[in-house]
Amino acid sequence: MSLYENTQKLINRAADTMELSEEVRKVVNEPERVLSVNFHIHRDDGKIQMVKGFRVQHNTLRGPAKGGVRFHPRVDMGEVKALAGWMTIKCAVVDIPYGGSKGGVEIDPRDLSEGELEQVTRQFTQAIAPIIGPRRDVPAPDVYTNAKIMNWIADEYHCVHPNEDDYLAVVTGKSLDNGGSLGRDSATAAGGVIVLESYLKKTGEELKGKTVAIQGFGNAGHHAARILAEKGAKIVAVTDSKGGIYVENGFDPMKAHSCKLEKGGIGECLTEAGSNGGEEKKISNEDILALECDILVLAALENQITEANVNAVKAKVVVELANGPITPEAHETLENKGTTVIPDILANAGGVTVSYYEWEQNLRHEKWTEEAVAEKLEKSQRQAFEDVDKVKDEFKTDYRNASYILALRRIESAFEEKHSGKAHGFSCMTE
């Protein structure tokens, strides 16, 4: 099954539960626009390399399209379509006035020099420039892209559209000295922790003392480890793409992160992180999913928990900080065995929410304090959890389905508003 079929399956499951109108079901089942581009870069060794890229705008009923750009050697159109669809749903769950989009470039940035990376970014931006814009479609960071890459996107877009005064608002996740927002860097992780705390509070529990394993030690994963540890949770394991570590008595994730930056992989950091008495060992990316722990945070890539390994999962709560890390079939198995899944479209929505704050600051020429951003994010994620929780009770369903239902309701009202009382003539279709 393709990743986009997963997205459709989840949309249609919620559509069935809530009896969504057929028109809206059809509209959200297909992306509005898909763009596939090919460009070339000059490698440092003098060779020319062709590169493939994609940008998909899934739906813009609720506002301009919004979604990150990932650089990854295995990106393809199906994946980008799925991720764009999830952005539509995500923005509606947290009620920010955006539709959904996503971009991908089929390249391994770890193989590129800084100059080559800049070329890839600028060429890709030129290729998609006709369809992006501050009020049309706004890219952001995603897997293996960062603030520096976002700065290049803004700059290249400005080269193509020199008269666009608001060009900084064409992309979010920029550096602080270039229109970026305080708090954007850690927003995905912070938002996930807020939702997790809201959930625990509802069940009469707290984070303090909970054992946590985190798959993925990139931007989302390492900030999550830090924030969770600050709140008293015990981080017992983390992995990155090359493997990782398990320390029974828990470890300081920031020390471990500095070591990862120095040595290139968290798997090399057992001595730095551990040596505090209990069991300590190196573990694989697969082992971490089966660890005995209270909370498992998935912060790597999609399709990590599948039918093949779902039965090994022992955590009582699984938080999806990555997009789509659990297949729909594996999710059903988890729910059936009583595991609570805090779904991606709710758990990781803090990132796009603070992207929205950055966009607002750019358009209003303002600079908000870190406290103001954190306070707004806290309120927004809490509200989203409460809204989803109400729908969950209403339909007696799981958090994922409830999040989709909430989102589809909001998309349906945007659809109705757009079409209410307007007889569509064909002289002018712009609205």
Q: Which residues bind ligand GLU (CB under 6 A)?
A: 66-68, 140, 142, 172, 323, 348, 351-352, 355
Please, are residues 106 and 51 in contact by the beta-carbon 8 Å criterion?
yes
Residue 224 Cβ vs ligand GLU, minimum distance, rounded to whole Å: 14
CA nearest 192: which of 103, 291, 105, 90?
90
CB-nearest residue to ligand GLU: 68
Buried b (16+ CB within 10 A) or exposed e, 296-334: bbbbbbbebbeeeebeebebebbbbbbbbbbbeebbbbb
Q: Where are the beta strands (DSSP E) in 311-396?
A: 317-320, 340-342
The reply to whether 102 belongs to the active site is: yes
CA nearest 266: which of 209, 340, 306, 216?
216
Between 62 and 210, CB nearer to ligand GLU = 62
Between 100 and 267, CB nearer to ligand GLU = 100
Measured between alpha carbons, how far is 245 from 341 in angstroms, rounded to an integer? 24
Residue 354 Cβ vs ligand GLU, minimum distance, rounded to whole Å: 7
CA nearest 203: which of 211, 192, 195, 215?
195
Exactly one of 66, 81, 102, 210 is catalytic; which is it? 102
Buried b (16+ CB within 10 A) or exposed e, 3-24: bbebbbebbebbbebbebeeeb
Between 348 and 380, CB nearer to ligand GLU = 348
Residue 56 Cβ vs ligand GLU, minimum distance, rounded to whole Å: 13
Residue 89 Cβ vs ligand GLU, minimum distance, rounded to whole Å: 11
Please, are residues 195 and 181 in contact by the beta-carbon 8 Å criterion?
no
Residue 367 Cβ vs ligand GLU, minimum distance, rounded to whole Å: 18
Between 25 and 136, CB nearer to ligand GLU = 136
Measured between alpha carbons, how far is 395 from 406 in angstroms, rounded to an integer? 11
Between 194 and 291, CB nearer to ligand GLU = 194
Point out the residues that are catalytic. 102
